[in-house]
Amino acid sequence: MSNPIWQRFSSAPKLRSLDMKDRVQEQVMAETRGATSAELVAYFREASRRFWREFGRSESAASPMVVRDADRPPRSE
């Protein structure tokens, strides 16, 4: 709970995460309505940059969740 995001809220019980998720989802849908796939990628990349700037970290400090070598086909498990 020492993460900077929790310092924004006076107490966790008052936080309505599902309501917040719904509002953010509605905002994203409104802002990306009719966007092409390339525009969606650009939108979420910029959102990621804003998120990391807000917490005082550079985007490079965040490690990628999935890395794939473009020259190799995906492995079949």
Do the beta carbons of residue 46 and residue 59 sit within 8 Å? no
* Residue range 24-40: mean pLDDT, rounded: 94
pLDDT of residue 12: 57
70 pLDDT band (50/70/90 cuts)?
low
What's the predicted TM-score (pTM) here? 0.52
Phi, psi angles (nearest 5°) of residue 35:
-75, 150
List the chain domain ranges: 16-58
pLDDT at 39 over 90: yes
Residue 16 pLDDT: 76
Report yes or no: 59 and 65 within 8 Å, Cβ to Cβ: no
